[in-house]
Amino acid sequence: MELQTVKQRFGIIGNSPALNYALSVAVRVAPTNLSVLINGESGVGKEIFSQILHQLSPRKHNPFIAVNCGAIPEGTIDSELFGHEKGSFTGANDKRKGYFETVDGGTIFLDEIGEMPIGTQARLLRVLESGEFIKVGSSASQKTDVRVVAATNVNLLESVQKGKFREDLYYRLSTVPIEIPPLRDRGDDIILLFRKLCSDFSEKTKIPTIQLDEEAKQLLLKYNWPGNVRQLKNIAEQVSVLAKDKIVGAEEFMHFIPDFKVSKTPALMDYKEQQQQQQSAGGANNFSERELLYKMLFDIKKDINDLKQFMLNMNVAPMANNPYVQENINSTNYYSPPVMVHNDMPIHSNVSQPIVINDKNNFTSTETIDESLSLDDKEKEMILRALKKHKSRRKKAADDLGISERTLYRKIKEYGIDE
């Protein structure tokens, strides 16, 4: 089936490569009975992918049920999934069928599988391996034919290492993994999605459809979207209702986005601003590794400058006039030559040739180290060096800098860099 047809059928908007790949994997694995593990942040649309896997499979005419494992209390999840016998526990006044019994022949979607208790994980593993389960309070096993599609927004391998998730169950579930990209990595899909969400909300509520100007669209692309599509829908509805004009500008649009300083690109913060934030946070360590690296480099440059000033002011005598130096230079056992003499005491070095430091001949001036702490300048300098290193090939330069090619292009325009 064509991807465009699948998108139209299930209301999926976007053409980013990562999204298209995830969809292609879902379409190919749907006709099989293999278990699928859907990975993705909260709000990216994992349940839509479970619907695709069910609707494009031979089980499409049989039941489908979505279960949020994190929303069911630990004491009752076994009963919900596998059922229970009458009197098996306090409050079990009647015999009850579980989801695996009622969905026999269909598909069960286990969302937030990482929140499932260890005991329940053992029961689920048995269903996946043999198709059998036992009701709570029963001793008889029952057969079921259910396809399991699981989803998580956490790293299950890390949970395995911490002992919170069974390793054998992880490999059973992840026969075919599908990775859904977060909204911030989908590029111009964000604008298409926002436009569609505003249009749908306008049609539903019978209010005029709003539009964003070009500057507001750029803000839309720069924001990090931690809540993904769910958050984007929330913002679209807020703007549709509260915007003053039909065309929304960047200044007005910023009021609808919380904490807009959160960006997809690494923010290089001024060192003084970092100190102020650290003090206001009660001494908490708010520095990122990159920001600490910049600070360290500035300190090293300052130390080098201070060292050169100190060397210039030293009373350094020419090495050639010192008999001790000459004796060592002419010696057959010469290994570590003295490089300079200060107050008649030789200083040795492991270099292969003696070096004479003379304040009259060698140091006529002191190098001035640029003490500018402008991180914008440093960012521009890094971009220029990367472009020069890779001969203006943007993709390789972007990979070297650890940013996307689209971000690099925006930075080149922003700093007016002539390639």
The secondary structure of 335-369 as a DSSP string is -S-EEEEETTEEEE--SSS-----TTTT-SSPPPP
Paired tokens of 169 = 């169950």
Question: What single letter denotes the amino acid at residue 149?
Answer: V
- Residue 225: phi and psi, rounded to 5, are 50, 65
Distance of CA 415 to the CA centre of its chain: 26
Gyration radius of the chain's alpha carbons: 33
Q: Are 151 and 37 in contact (CB under 8 A)?
A: yes
Which DSSP state fits 181? P
The structure tokens 């070009």 sit at 214
State phi, psi for 403 to the nearest 5 degrees: -130, 170
Decide: pTM greater than 0.85. no
Q: Where are the domains of the chain?
A: 3-181, 184-254, 375-415
Q: Which CATH class is domain 375-415?
A: mainly alpha
**pLDDT at position 346:** 46
Identical topology for domains 184-254 and 375-415: no
pLDDT of residue 358: 46
48: exposed, middle or buried (C-beta count within 10 Å: 0-12, 13-18, 19+)?
middle
Backbone angles phi, psi at 396, to 5 degrees: -70, -35
Report the pLDDT value the prediction gives residue 361, as an integer from 0 to 100. Answer: 44
- Kindly report the CATH class assigned to 3-181: alpha beta
Which CATH fold would you assign to the domain 184-254? Helicase, Ruva Protein; domain 3 (1.10.8)
| Residue 278: per-residue pLDDT | 46
pLDDT at position 8 is: 92
Residue among 378, 389, 364 nearest 411 (CA): 378
Per-residue pLDDT of the chain (419 residues; tens, 9 = 90+): 689 999 999 999 999 999 999 999 999 999 999 999 999 999 999 999 999 999 999 999 999 999 999 999 988 999 999 998 887 887 778 888 999 999 999 999 999 999 999 999 999 999 999 999 999 988 889 999 999 999 999 999 999 999 999 999 999 999 999 999 999 999 999 999 999 999 999 999 999 999 999 999 999 999 999 999 999 999 999 999 999 889 999 999 988 987 765 444 444 444 444 445 444 444 444 444 555 666 667 677 777 877 777 666 664 444 445 554 444 444 444 444 444 444 444 444 444 444 444 444 444 444 444 555 567 777 888 888 888 888 888 888 888 888 888 788 788 888 888 76
Contacts with 10 (C-beta within 8 Å, 6 or more apart), sequence order: 48, 51, 52, 55
pLDDT of residue 373: 58
CA nearest to 26, candidates 128, 149, 147: 149
